[in-house]
Amino acid sequence: MPTHSPFLRRLLAAAVAAGVLAASAQADVIAATNPSAIPAQAKARKDTIVGAISAPQGIFNPYLFSNGWDENVTEVIFGRLVGLDAQGKLRAEQAESWQVSKDGLQYTLKLRKGLKFSDGSPFTADDVAFTLTFLHDPAYDGGTDISLAKIKGGDAYKAGKASSVEGIKVLNPQTIQITVTEPGATTLQLIGGPVLSRAWYGRGYQPGKLDDLRQYSSKPLGAGPYIYDKFVPGQEVRFHANPYYFAGKPAVPNFIYRITSDATKLQLFQTGETDLEGFSINADNIEQLKALGFANLNIYNSSDYSLIEFNHNKPALKDVRVRQALTYALDRKKLVDVVYQGYGSVATLPLSPVSWAYDTKGVNPYNFDPAKAAALLDQAGWKLGSDGIREKGGQKLVVTLLATKSLFNDALIPIAKENFKRVGVELRPEVSDFNALLAKRKAGNFDLATFRTSGLNDPHDGVARFRSTENEVGYKNAQVDKLINAGNGTLDIGKRKAIYHQLYQVLANDAPLILLANRKLLYVNSSRIGNYQPDVFNGIFGSLPKLKIQY
């Protein structure tokens, strides 16, 4: 078991009291009624489990991906030093234990004995030091903001003023010590993430030049439960069991991610071509899946939220009145009712109701109000033209919306088009696959973009996108930056909750995006698969190494 300092024990106790370890993290299970109905095609697959994934891009590095589906692949390959259990408590994985000094400024992580990467090479504290140093590289542009950890000397290294990061110290092959300049609520999870092999990823790597390191994104090497075999775009990602996995080689020799879509997933599961799948949650899907007889249904609260992002670099959207108007103009309750049929709610905060930081008191909910939307657009100088579309300075108020093909967006697009037209705004949807959406977004070729966040384990995860240093769409607010940093800068749950409550009020008033929905999740597994227990903190990954084939 991990060794916690009194500092961390107090933090965990406070989290329990605040409700972070809520029962809502657990799944409600509707058990299969007729396992004998398992399709013959699935029964014939004696040594392989097939899961489902939507749109991997092929960048399989836990610190360089830009696509959440690629992140799902890296979870299979890499594992973590420190993870979370099904209740959200810190869990020792590749790190055997950790200690934190009383002042919260020094972390000492001890690795498990005999750790190896999946090629059999040693996994040591040098690899951890290499990973953390790489995250401070001047050219690093991935999604992990290691600056939040406040590692001593990190800024100097990133600025090219030092040849190493002062606060990273390897004590021996099994032990690494990290010194930080400020306590941080997310520090342990930041320094306890996936580890890159220095021998593999460090070949040819030079600080400030990431091209050599990036080339290994298509040839990943990790220490997780399964080893990467190959990626066939549009079809599948294949893996085989890692004999060097710290918890023992998984019992099932092979794992496959089959690429599915809303249009194909039910058929593939029904015919036995997949064993694990996620579905949009609604009464129709639940009844269809129950009727199969061989499906176990797992229903639990998600920790993500869906959204419409504004491109703040576009002149019309720089005006907060326009952003507020578009939020009031959208009937989000109708959207949630149509899509989730009682298994979702309109999102008011940039986090899930399962979080201990959830508090909507005093936060503008932006209830559907076309009259208020129209008044705000009038105030912003956008006047109705003869064709019913607003104009200002000879420019029509026409906005593009980047979206992917999905059941959610199939409902969102017509509702949004109708709602926006009612207040004099023309919406032009551009539907593409997720990777094309990301490319357009990165190039800035959009007004609005809709997608869903990854799972959020800490309230900081839900607001990090609003920091000026991390925001990719031009949003800047000094007060927001200050509150985000303050919320991550203390480990006192009570103080954090008060800071986030203030932050949510500021964000609501500034309307940097349109929050859409919180939802429940529906994951199913064929009853031929045992030990499958998805949870809000880990999804399928907490179960993956322990899965077994029963039939």
What is residue 216's predicted lDDT score, i.e. its pLDDT?
95
Q: Read off the CATH number of the domain in which 274 is found.
A: 3.40.190.10
What is residue 451's predicted lDDT score, i.e. its pLDDT?
94
pLDDT surpassing 50 at residue 65: yes
Q: Is residue 364 part of a domain?
A: yes
Q: Read off the CATH number of the domain in which 156 is found.
A: 3.90.76.10
Q: What is the DSSP string of 415-446?
A: HHHHHHHHTT-EEEEEEE-HHHHHHHHHHT--
Q: Is residue 538 part of a domain?
A: yes
User: Do 426 and 476 share a domain, yes or no?
Assistant: yes
The top-scoring range by mean pLDDT among 56-70, 75-89, 162-176 is: 162-176
Q: Is residue 220 part of a domain?
A: no
pLDDT surpassing 80 at residue 21: no
| Poorest-pLDDT segment among 325-339, 394-408, 527-541 | 527-541
pLDDT surpassing 80 at residue 247: yes
**DSSP class of 364:** -
pLDDT classification of 155: cutoffs 50, 70, 90: very high
What is residue 63's predicted lDDT score, i.e. its pLDDT?
97
Do the beta carbons of residue 330 and residue 416 sit within 8 Å? yes
What is residue 26's predicted lDDT score, i.e. its pLDDT?
59
Average pLDDT over residues 404-414: 95
pLDDT classification of 25: cutoffs 50, 70, 90: low
Domains: count for the chain: 3
User: Do 104 and 232 share a domain, yes or no?
Assistant: no
Q: Is residue 249 part of a domain?
A: yes
| Percentage of the chain modeled with pLDDT above 90 | 81
Q: Classify 323 as helix, strand or coil.
A: helix
What is residue 13's predicted lDDT score, i.e. its pLDDT?
38
pTM, 2 dp: 0.81
Q: How far apart are CA 2 and CA 82, in angstroms?
A: 10
User: Do 480 and 539 share a domain, yes or no?
Assistant: no
- Give the model confidence (pLDDT) of 425-465 as tens digits: 999 999 999 889 989 998 998 999 999 998 888 899 999 99
Q: What is the DSSP string of 260-307?
A: --TTTHHHHHHTTS-SEEEE--SHHHHHHHHHHSSEEEEEEE-S--EE
- Domain of residue 282, residue span: 31-54+225-294+527-551
Q: Is residue 43 part of a domain?
A: yes
Average pLDDT over residues 305-334: 97
Average pLDDT, the chain: 92
Average pLDDT over residues 128-153: 95
pLDDT surpassing 90 at residue 138: yes
pLDDT surpassing 50 at residue 548: yes
What is residue 456's predicted lDDT score, i.e. its pLDDT?
86
Say how many C-beta atoms besides its own lie within 10 A of residue 86's C-beta: 18
For 104-125, letters b (16+ CB in 10 Å) and e give: bbbbbbbbbeebbbbeebebbb
- Give the model confidence (pLDDT) of 379-390 as tens digits: 999 999 999 999
What is residue 536's predicted lDDT score, i.e. its pLDDT?
82
Q: Is residue 118 part of a domain?
A: yes
- Give the model confidence (pLDDT) of 339-379 as tens digits: 999 999 999 999 999 889 999 999 999 999 999 999 999 99
User: Do 401 and 454 share a domain, yes or no?
Assistant: yes
